[in-house]
Amino acid sequence: MKRSLTLVSIIGMSIILFAGKLPDPPEKKPAMPQAAFKWQTEQFGDSRILRYKVPGFDELSLNQKKMIYYLSQAALCGRDITYDQNCKYNLLVRKTLESVVMQYTGDKNAPEYLKLMTYLKEVWFNNGIHHYYSSDKLIPEFSKEYLSGLLKSTGKKNLPLDKDQTLSQFITEITRIIFDPSIAPKRVCLENGKDLILNSSCNFYDGVTQKEAEDFYYKLKEKDKKEGNDTLIAYGLNSKLVKENGVVTEKKWKTDGMYAPALIHVIYWLNMAASVSESKEQKESIYKLINYYRTGDLGLWDEYNILWVKDINSKVDFVNGFIEVYGDPLAKKAGWESVVNFKDEEATKRTEILSRNALYFEEHSPVDPRFKKKDVKGITAKVITVAQLGGECHPTTPIGINLPNAQWIRKEYGSKSVTMDNITYAYDQSSLGNGFLEEFAASPQEIENAKKYSYIAGNLNTDLHECLGHGSGQMLPGVTAESLKNYHSTIEEARADLFALYNVMDPKLKEVGLVTSPAVATTEYDSFIRNGLFTQLVRVKPGKTIEEAHMRDRSLIAHWVYEKGKDANVIEKFSRDGKTYFRINNYTALRDLFGQLLREIQRITSEGDYTAAKNLVETYGVQVDADLHKEVLERYKKLNIAPYAGFINPVFEPVMKGETLTDVRVTYPSDFTKQMLEYSSKYSFLSPR
């Protein structure tokens, strides 16, 4: 996966990966004054809801505004796909609870009703009944009896009953799904030694085992080799693998297959967008994407990505498709997502500098020369203003994207890398004064440096990770991302993180004018080690291990360098006033350790060394120090901060004069529940059965 899913939550605000103009300090962003806009609207469970603004939208041309409006509609039309992909029960649960809420006329401040609303908000926030980070099943706090009573009062005609199903039977079914911990307990199982498919509740497979799935796609590749055909197609990316009458087969996601009702609406709005496209390349890429959705032909998906990469002049851009494979334990099948955006011209000057110097960083990488690219082609890096989030990217969102994922396209045609400026700004503004940094930083100097340099340090880390890190290195012939199986995502994110960490201290950054002080790099090192060694544990439930790939990546890196640098006291663990802290004593030595680990992880990636990947991840990335975890949770609880953040989308409203669209107006709603119910009313195209 070539996308940063380092989802910056409230816990990371002191080390925010902001993408503003360098070297100006963050307060010089007058377009979005904090006092004039409410960034956080509410908090429930372990989640909080934010808003983001779209600065610069009013200055766009009418066609550009139309483009954003049409693409935003396409982004919302695929919403149900994400729910269904995450688990086969998700649409049934969501639509049932939404019907209950819409029909409810009782006391909306009653304790049990508030608990039900919290659970429904968690379902919306996580796009289903599993936590999007841990992938554990969500546990409601209201009772089964309370829900049963609400279902009875809601009435049979308002609920998604199956054909010939009685209300009593439906109540039994839905309460079992929600309350029985043995039903769909884990969305994505990465536990070593288990059948990853049979122990995962994601809806990418039905009736097949892990071995059957692996054999199915292995045979497709072998068939291509025997016939002398190209073997670069990402088989399985856009389909569900099922067993019917004892035969393993695919159900493609296309307009005459699975998800057709939603994809038809996505296509409608893509056609509208094509009518106001900014360039020939952009129009061609949109039509190619439409044909791909119609046919399910993965060859067309590759052709679309090539056209999309070549379109470097359009100001408005978008991501739309089955793209990332984080939700599949075998890393084959992609979740649906969309991001609509436009280029921030001023901030992009920074990423353009990095792009022009990409070959320098590749040549000076500490990895084995066999795994370095001899030439770096077509890295288009820019800072963007997000206009709309959809599918897997909403309500929670990445802060950076680097696509396409296909290595051969990246090698031959290049890639696009973006940093989401207004998203990181919203994270930062919502977190001012939360006390997190003061609680966990090792020293007053560390705090001072973070306040002064964390924006710049975060900028560069994100840019290096996205613009250069994912695009660096090369695999040996015959090696693919699938070689590392369930460890691929963690290893890939660790590779990009290490590339960024190693190079953020490179003197080249000062030479090209991107940094003015060595404290930029040391500030980033402080924040990464602090997060990787212990503060990210606020996201882990007591007694649990680390499950999510990005958290595993950060834990792997931090614990590896901590252990390898122990003899030289590179990183020191100490106690003050009964609290644990970590302090870096030798930043230069730490950079060297980052380089050593980057060398090994690039080797693992290039050679497809599954055993080495497994050993690294399981040894350093998964386990949790129970005592330290307990301490961190106790300290964090006192701050009253939710560790996860998601967004309410802006709304783009067409201004009509008769039948002519004369303008598009953007507004910023503040009611998460209202937006989710409106989405379900307007964009529910898939049946829950």
Residues 424 and 552 in one domain: yes
Same structural domain for residues 28 and 112? no
CB 502 within 8 A of CB 591: yes
- Looking at 189, 223, 252, the residue that finishes a domain is 189
Q: What is the dihedral of CA 555, 201, 293, 414, to 10 degrees?
A: 10
Give the mean pLDDT of 438-462.
89
Asked whether residue 118 is assigned to any structural domain, the reply reads: yes
Whether pLDDT at 10 is above 80: no
**C-alpha torsion sign, points 533, 534, 538, 544:** positive
Same domain (yes/no): 488, 565: yes
Average pLDDT over every residue of 166-185: 98
Can you tell me the mean pLDDT for 299-309? Answer: 97
Does any domain span residue 613?
A: yes
Please indicate, yes or no, whether residues 112 and 18 belong to a single structural domain of this protein: no
pLDDT above 50 for 688: yes
Which range among 29-33, 87-91, 644-648 shows the weakest confidence by mean pLDDT?
29-33
Distances (CA, A) of 171 to 41, 99, 149, 327, 462: 33, 13, 9, 29, 48
Q: Does one domain contain both 614 and 515?
A: yes
Position 384 scores a pLDDT of 94
> What is the pLDDT at residue 93?
98
Which pTM does this prediction carry?
0.85
Quote the pLDDT of residue 22.
32
Residue 195 has a pLDDT of: 97
Is residue 58 in some structural domain?
A: no
pLDDT at 5: 41
- Give the pairing of strands 335-343 and 247-252: unpaired
Q: What is the pLDDT of residue 523?
A: 96
Q: Band of the pLDDT at 444, cuts 50, 70, 90?
A: very high
Cα torsion angle, 235, 237, 238, 243, sign? positive
How confident is the model over 180-197, as a mean pLDDT? 95
pLDDT digits (tens, 9 = 90+) for 93-119: 999 999 999 999 999 999 999 999 999
φ and ψ of 339, to 5 deg: -135, 125
pLDDT exceeds 50 at position 292 = yes
In-domain check, residue 627: yes
Which range marks the domain in which residue 181 is found? Answer: 80-189
Task: Please check whether residue 583 lies inside any domain of the structure.
Answer: yes
The sign of the torsion formed by the CA atoms of 338, 344, 347, 348 equals positive
Asked whether residue 490 falls in the same domain as residue 353, the answer is yes
pLDDT level of residue 480 (50, 70, 90 thresholds): confident
Nearest to 653 by CA among 643, 665, 662: 665
What are 673's two structure tokens? Answer: 């529940």
| Domain final residue, candidates 156, 189, 222 | 189
User: Over the stretch 544-567, which tens digit does the pLDDT of each residue have?
Assistant: 999 899 999 999 999 999 999 999
Q: Residue 224 pLDDT > 60, yes or no?
A: yes
Quote the percentage of the chain above a pLDDT of 90. 81
pLDDT grade, residue 231 (50/70/90)? low
493, pLDDT greater than 90: yes
Residue 663 lies in a domain: no
* Same-domain check for residues 375 and 493: yes
Same domain, 21 and 131: no
Do 21 and 125 sit in the same domain of this protein? Answer: no
Residue 307 corresponds to which tokens in the numbers above? 């056209």
Q: Note whether 374 and 471 are same-domain residues.
A: yes
pLDDT at 456: 78
Q: What is the mean pLDDT of the chain?
A: 92
Point out the least confidently predicted range of 2-11, 411-420, 535-544, 572-581: 2-11
578 plus 471 within the same structural domain:
yes
Q: Are 37 and 495 in contact (CB under 8 A)?
A: no
* 304-314 mean pLDDT: 95
Same domain? For 14 and 97 the reply is: no
What's the pLDDT tens digit per position in 623-637? 999 999 999 999 999
pLDDT value of residue 378: 63
| Rounded distance between C-alpha atoms, residue 643 and residue 632, angstroms | 13
**Is 38 a domain residue?**
no
Q: Is the pLDDT of residue 12 over 80?
A: no
Answer whether residue 455 shows pLDDT above 80. Answer: no
Q: How confident is the model at residue 411 (pLDDT cuts 50, 70, 90)?
A: confident
The domain total for the chain is 2
Final residue before a domain boundary, out of 132, 163, 189: 189
Is residue 317 assigned to a domain?
A: no
